[in-house]
């Protein structure tokens, strides 16, 4: 419960605590699901090309305040436009990444792909709908 009567209390989405056997079963299934659906990564401390670990995730869903969710939804078109404008500004990308590509091989490889795409032209069909970036 909240100490302030004006502060909403977020309820649990599922009844807790779970029985031990149910918790172990759900956890095992969630880990398998995560790995089978691409939520996996290699260990930084014990790297092995033959081994994957599941990426961290939350087992039990949690409530989220509707007003905060609505703020995020309202902000998304602005973020989309920013990403679109950055992605289509060759000068900005080249200038911004100039120092990074000197020291980061991964970014340099991505940047080289970007250059090749620019050199060969875009083949994606661009469509414009109401509310999309222009």
Q: Is residue 1 part of a domain?
A: no
Residues 52-77 have pLDDT tens digits of 888 888 888 777 888 999 999 999 99
What is the 8-class DSSP label of residue 7?
A: S
Classify 45 in phi/psi space as left (phi over 0), alpha (psi -120 to 50) or beta: alpha
Residues 6+ apart with CB under 8 A from 52: 35, 40, 41, 42
Same domain, 72 and 108: yes
Domain count, the chain: 2
Q: Is residue 13 part of a domain?
A: no
Residue numbers of the domain that contains 49: 20-54
Return the half-sphere exposure (C-beta side, CA atoms, 13 A cut-off) of residue 52. Answer: 13
Q: What is the mean pLDDT of the chain?
A: 84
pTM of this structure? 0.50
């Amino acid at each position: 419960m909240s100490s302030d009567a004006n502060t909403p209390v977020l309820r649990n989405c599922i009844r807790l605590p779970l029985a031990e056997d149910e918790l172990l079963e759900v956890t095992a299934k969630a880990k398998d699901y995560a790995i089978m659906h691409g939520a996996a990564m290699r260990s930084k401390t014990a790297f092995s090309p033959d081994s994957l670990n599941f990426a961290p995730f939350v087992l039990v869903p949690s409530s989220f305040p509707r007003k905060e969710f609505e703020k995020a939804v309202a902000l998304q078109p602005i973020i989309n436009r920013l990403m679109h404008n950055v992605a289509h500004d060759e000068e900005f990308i080249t200038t911004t990444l100039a120092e990074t590509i000197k020291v980061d091989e991964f970014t340099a490889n991505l940047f080289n792909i970007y250059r090749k795409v620019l050199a060969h032209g875009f083949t994606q069909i661009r469509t414009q709908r109401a509310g999309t970036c222009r």
